[in-house]
Structure 1
């Protein structure tokens, strides 16, 4: 069993009986528990950690939590609880119960905890888009079915299942594997799969290769591991999330993309992988402003839009400025033969002029040094020669 305590968190003034029900099931299984009250209006009664104690962990003091405005109070408690949990050294797991406000409050702390720490959120909003709650972390979301507003024949089952789930996770920890092979992160999309498969084949004898799907949170997850020093280098060959950030697609990165490269100074090999496409949902979901653009229906749920030369130039400038902040070893590849499986002669997104605009913008923007270099290659990103060049450069700077 994991040596520590299972924290049970929520607003005990409105969800006290439900939190205690979960606490009692966990305790009956022999695990140590701690109910943390996150109420911002009145005391939650039978708790182990009072709301005032949590609030005292806010960087600006408890007065930043207990305000006259409910919204600012919840925001303040969110910050305080995150700091409270990060100060614990005995976390065997964290389980939370809540509606939209409580889910926002608890999952912020969950995202701050290390990858691998059991985290389970029982929420009334878990059947909707939960990207904002989960982020780049391993938060488990469970839909509450009924509102968390009393114990009844349905809620007892759901909350009981959740309690037993966190017990199972806490009691049976899977340790992070230790190996002589350092872990490295790689980004991949369907249209760069061939590239990454070849790169992994060239490196996996000496490295533990962790591949991240570049769907917005994929890049965030990789960079979270980078800032946590859980990877020793990055092969960020698929930077497509920048397209969706700048052009309004459905798989955007955040404005913080590449910042982990700068702060960690890890060995970094990047490229323009899939920077030729913006992702939308079904064709009917594409904004009217883009009606006359070049589209490719990847499947019934994903429509791809070819980026223009102007958009590519904009991305080149944006990425270039980010790379200028990186003082560790950086190599960024410009594959002149095409940046995705759709960007090749005879294929729907083949547009050498658009790609050239991006490459030119990068070369105008990036301040190249011995450590920070752009590398033009005549190959397509999925060619064997490109994979060999990328792997070779990574070995050279690792």
Structure 2
């Protein structure tokens, strides 16, 4: 079976480059569906779905010609998302690609994030791929290739880059087809457990992972709690690709509340609660907010307890009031969204909530920890969510094994046969 690549682009501004890219892709025994997401109609034999067709079929023939540029991008992204999602659901496409500047990149990325799942090949050749790519990729697996020169007229530099990109997307499409044809043999029969981790909770997560995978038919997905990590886990939960969660490291809540650089936003903790899947939550690394280099810490925090984790990451110790707010955030999310309170436990390791918050550690603060724990215990009283207070530190191996066993109990699993 020859795979098919969807090629998205604004043909009214990038026709020459898109036609060239299409020809490069075709050299690799791959079909191409070129979708024009431009503002004005462009006539060309290589265009499979014109912008006029997108508007007619998915926008009820709405006149978009006079819309502002920003609205055009949002509108055409919406129409293209419907079209690409339909093609994906029919099984008629096997990869998606785009090339363009900031506007085209924004449009294509939105389609890729919304129309196709994680694991489906996605590639954008972009003029903004070497900058802040977080808003483009978000919590998905979009691959970005910097165009070096603008996607504005063909030259040897751009030709080389487009040739590489064409080969890359063609290779991904072929592998995707092969993977789909062997889907039954590749599909795991193991239960899928999401675990959140940070540098200061790594010993615990390593012990949990080894314990679960050695003793049970479980495979673990570890998510680095950097903001996008938490969002990625919750996206996979919503997609039904995670069966249970050991949300050990909820530090992203601190960054959300205090303006740190690793916030996962206001919806953290909602996905697992709504899904009703077995969920053990702890407060790993909620003793800290993350900033960049020391010089980037906001002026209002200059007098706070700061710790240079490395030259590009500065940690700020959570205050008593902030710790209380973290606890209230957890309580609110669980009370408001828990589909099944019995599926959830919250574990509070009073011996230290991170590697540096243990007694005599640089972030040891009994009052802040007490405020965090009290907010959670009092707030969840009568909710049906069990709170477990444990005297050990989060990174003690015995704690890791016990919290892993608590999750297994919620999952109703038995140990593997010896």
- Residue 119 of structure 2 contacts residue 141 of structure 2 at CA under 8 Å; is this kept in 1? yes
- 1:259-338 equivalence runs, <5 A: 259-324=270-335, 325-328=337-340, 329-338=343-352
Provide the aligned C-alpha RMSD in A: 1.7
Please state whether the residue corresponding to 1:87 is helix, strand or coil. Answer: helix
Could you tell me which of 386, 392, 395 is aligned with 1:373? 386
- Asked if 1:188 corresponds to 2:197, the answer is yes
State the alpha-carbon separation in 1 of the partners of residues 56 and 134 from structure 2: 29
Please state whether the residue corresponding to 2:82 is helix, strand or coil. Answer: helix
- Residue 7 of structure 2 contacts residue 98 of structure 2 at CA under 8 Å; is this kept in 1? yes
List per-residue Cα deviations over 1:114-145 (Å, max 9, x = no partner): 11111001100000010111111111000011
Please state whether the residue corresponding to 1:204 is helix, strand or coil. Answer: helix
1:20 corresponds to: 19
1:31 corresponds to: 30
The Cα shift of 1:64 comes to 7.8
Could you tell me which of 128, 151, 155 is aligned with 2:158? 155
Q: Which residues of structure 1 form unaligned runs of 5+?
A: none
2:415 corresponds to: none
- Residue 40 of structure 2 contacts residue 51 of structure 2 at CA under 8 Å; is this kept in 1? no
The Cα shift of 1:281 comes to 0.7
Could you tell me which of 358, 376, 381 is aligned with 1:344? 358
- 1:167-246 equivalence runs, <5 A: 167-173=170-176, 175=179, 177-205=186-214, 206=216, 207-246=218-257
- Residue 275 of structure 2 contacts residue 339 of structure 2 at CA under 8 Å; is this kept in 1? no
TM-score under structure 1 length normalisation: 0.95
State the alpha-carbon separation in 2 of the partners of residues 124 and 62 from structure 1: 32
- Residue 13 of structure 1 contacts residue 45 of structure 1 at CA under 8 Å; is this kept in 2? no
State the alpha-carbon separation in 1 of the partners of residues 322 and 137 from structure 2: 30
TM-score under structure 2 length normalisation: 0.90
Judged with a 3 Å threshold, the aligned counterparts in structure 2 of structure 1 residues 53 and 390 are, in CA distance, closer, same or farther, namely farther
Please state whether the residue corresponding to 1:345 is helix, strand or coil. Answer: coil
Q: Counting helix residues as a fraction of each chain, which structure ranks higher?
A: 2
Please state whether the residue corresponding to 2:347 is helix, strand or coil. Answer: strand
Q: Which residues of structure 2 form unaligned runs of 5+?
A: 412-418
Judged with a 3 Å threshold, the aligned counterparts in structure 2 of structure 1 residues 345 and 101 are, in CA distance, closer, same or farther, namely same
